[in-house]
Structure 1
Amino acid sequence: MNAAWAYPFIFVAGMLQAVGASMGGQLNKSIGNPWLATSISFMLVLFLTVALFACMPKPLPSVGDFAAMPWWAPLGGIVGAVAVFAGFLLIQKLGAGPVNGITITANILASLAIDHFGLFRMEQHEMNPWRFLGAVLMVGGVTLIAKF
């Protein structure tokens, strides 16, 4: 994979996450039910992904692919839905900065543990002083954003 396009793509995706959380918060405010707001949001994602799959149906997994898959692999969407629901529920109360800052900082801290220990079959990337400093700076930065 060519990293020249990967990092800008991830950057834009991160920006869209902040926009999406704010949009979802407004959806929740408009209809008054965070469960329904989350359901509407995920239904649109489901329709989009099914349409994209219909346009590009290959490659398809084999029975062996399913058999080799860890039991927990399909749960990623449900785990991600917790963050979406929390954003929908709390972004109007706390603001986009604190909600997204805490979400991203928690993501970084968990990611550093996943990398360090090689959890979920990820390639291991050991903790070092620079990664630790980055985590401390993230916590400090989001604390300032949430407080002020």
Structure 2
Amino acid sequence: MNPNLFAMIAVILAGGATALQAPTNAKLMTAAGSPVNAAFVSFAVGTAALGIVVMILQARPDVTAARALPWYAWVGGLYGAIFVVAAAWGVPRLGVALTITLMVAGQLLIGIVLDHFGAFGTPQHPISWGRAAGVAMVLAGVLLVRRS
């Protein structure tokens, strides 16, 4: 199988998992008392699952490389926490489809800017009319989901 095709399928499945995560954490929020508590439980379960995978794969970090990382490489979990709290909070108020559509729109808007500048050492992909039109179509999709 083409490695790019495999990567695209994996990312689509991961996107589906985030769509499942939003209503799951919204339900958890009702028992946990707040979206922050729900996110805490969600991350605890995720951390435990990743711990098991790390043990199975016997993955060992490169301590020297870790020490050389810039500060921003360590805050990815913070962004994930914001995402999970916002999803748990948003789903009961906006519904799953609108919450996820808005999140995808936000991801694309930031993503196209990061790509344009090659931020954080990522490959640079300048904004083009086609890429801008793709983001505009997603934003139009937000409006359609919201108004339908």
Residue 5 of structure 1 pairs with residue 6 of structure 2: yes
Any unmatched runs of 5+ in structure 1? none
Between 27-36 and 4-13, report the one with greater CA deviation.
27-36
Task: Give the letter for the 2:35 counterpart.
Answer: P
Counterparts of 2:19 and 2:44 in 1: how far apart (Å)?
A: 19
Counterparts of 2:139 and 2:54 in 1: how far apart (Å)?
A: 39
Residue pairs, 1:1-148, within 5 angstroms: 2-63=3-64, 65-148=65-148
Task: Give the letter for the 2:18 counterpart.
Answer: Q
Counterparts of 1:58 and 1:86 in 2: how far apart (Å)?
A: 31
With structure 2 as the length reference, what TM-score do the two structures score?
A: 0.93
With structure 1 as the length reference, what TM-score do the two structures score?
A: 0.93
Counterparts of 2:53 and 2:121 in 1: how far apart (Å)?
A: 28
User: Once the 2 structures are TM-superposed, how far is the Cα of residue 59 of structure 1 from its aligned partner?
Assistant: 4.3
User: Once the 2 structures are TM-superposed, how far is the Cα of residue 39 of structure 1 from its aligned partner?
Assistant: 0.7
Give structure 1 regions of 4+ aligned residues with deviation exceeding 2 angstroms: 29-32, 57-60
Any unmatched runs of 5+ in structure 2? none
Counterparts of 1:114 and 1:120 in 2: how far apart (Å)?
A: 8
Task: Output the aligned Cα RMSD.
Answer: 1.4
Counterparts of 1:39 and 1:138 in 2: how far apart (Å)?
A: 30
Counterparts of 2:9 and 2:119 in 1: how far apart (Å)?
A: 26
3-state SS in 1 of match to 2:112: helix
